[in-house]
Chains A and B, each alone.
Chain A
Amino acid sequence: MPIDHKTTEHTDPSFKPLMRSLALELCIYAPLVTIYFIVVLHFAKEPLIQLYEQGSTSYAFVTLFLILMQGVLLEAFTSWLLRRIGLR
């Protein structure tokens, strides 16, 4: 029986579940991150602008602190979420 090469592409057994996982990740994670982003911007925008206008030194260290904290927290949150819903 001839093999249909079009249908045998990407037949790696873990490929389809991976794509499904990624789609689920996007559907769950993207709205959560969007909400987080809106909340953070809402509360942090004015104080950060004031800090920028007042003095450079404190603004510089607050910037570094915020960016590092957000990076670690987002990663920890993503890992926890993916473990909870069984995608990892």
Chain B
Amino acid sequence: MEFPIAGVIVSPLILAGTGFIVGVLGGFLGVGGGFLAGPLMFWAGVPIDFVVGTDLAHMTGKSLVAARSHRALGHVDIRLAMLMVLGTVPGVEIGAQIIEALKPRGNTEQVVGIFYVIILSLIGSFTAWESLRTIRMRRTEHINAQDAVERTGLLYHSRLFRIPPLVQLPVSGVGEVSVWAILFVGLLTGVLAGFLGVGGGFLRMPLMVYALGIPTHVAVGTDLFEIVISAGYGTISHALKGNVDVLIALTMQTGAAIGAQIGVAATRYVSGPSIRLVFSFLPFLAAAMVLLRIAF
């Protein structure tokens, strides 16, 4: 089927299937799944500038639904999310401007593709390493997953995140944390969101847990809430630059809606670290697909 806005012919089944896989992952892992949807769209033949904008659009709707559920469960720290947005929004704009700057040079696909491969390889390696370590720590020291994460987190070991002004996050159970640390996390993940078309959850989640000391369940909910705002802004920004195919985004979202139901239900049967270990190979798979597309 032809999608004239992006100027590409892709089977809607592939797009809905991609949305389905990303939906399962989103429900299962609590991430937006853009790190996988982007490479899959790119591999299917969608031009990279449309991949970035359309991926953000599709994630906005999906994350809104998930964030509403988490908000009802009290898993969203609004104060943390709003502070982080102040860093994320400028970051998204910087990322989108980088894409615009690359367009006239004609090498956007290569540059973004190589960044994808590097980021995906880092995510896969980190996730596998962290999951194995947490599982081992739980076995040998008989402590729960959150304690295991906190013991190895940056906040536990250093006072680097105490630069004033400090803010209290009672919903997250964090006494005091530097506003600068929150803004930095937001800005960094925002640049990635605007440049790669990802929500940034795969990076923001571990940074919130390890660097800011946020409990995992609050980090998941707050991350999704943050994605709605940052991806929504990214959608507008990229659409103004002509980088969004709304028909592709709507098609993907239909698959994602089914997948999310299955993903959420499946979390009842597998523990957190085991889930992360099982899925640590997916970023490598996505990296291989991007490499194939760039090479051929």
Contacts and interface: CB of A to CB of B under 8 A. Distances in A.
B274 to A, nearest CB: 15
Nearest to A82: B261
Interface of B: 4-5, 12, 16, 57-58, 60-62, 64-65, 68, 232, 235-236, 239-242, 244, 246-247, 249-251, 253-254, 257-258, 261-262, 265, 268-269
B contacts with A: majority SS = helix
A15 B269 contact: yes
Contacts of B244: 60, 63
B15 to A, nearest CB: 10
Contacts of B12: 37, 41
A contacts with B: majority SS = helix
B247 A12 contact: no
B5 A52 contact: yes
13 contacts: A18-B265, A22-B262, A25-B262, A33-B258, A40-B250, A48-B246, A60-B235, A64-B60, A67-B60, A71-B60, A72-B61, A72-B64, A75-B65
Nearest to A63: B246
A22 B246 CA distance: 29
A65 B265 CA distance: 28
B250 A70 contact: yes
Contacts of A64: 57, 60, 232, 235-236, 239
Given A22-B262, A36-B254, A56 B239 contact: yes
Interface residues of A, number: 39
Interface in A46-75: 48-49, 52, 56-57, 59-64, 66-68, 70-72, 74-75
Contacts, number: 108
B174 to A, nearest CB: 30
Contacts of B242: 52, 56
A22 B82 CA distance: 36
Given A22-B262, A37-B12, A49-B4, A74 B235 contact: no
Contacts of A74: 65, 253-254, 257
A29 interface: yes
Nearest to B62: A71
Contacts of B247: 41, 44-45, 48
A26 to B, nearest CB: 7
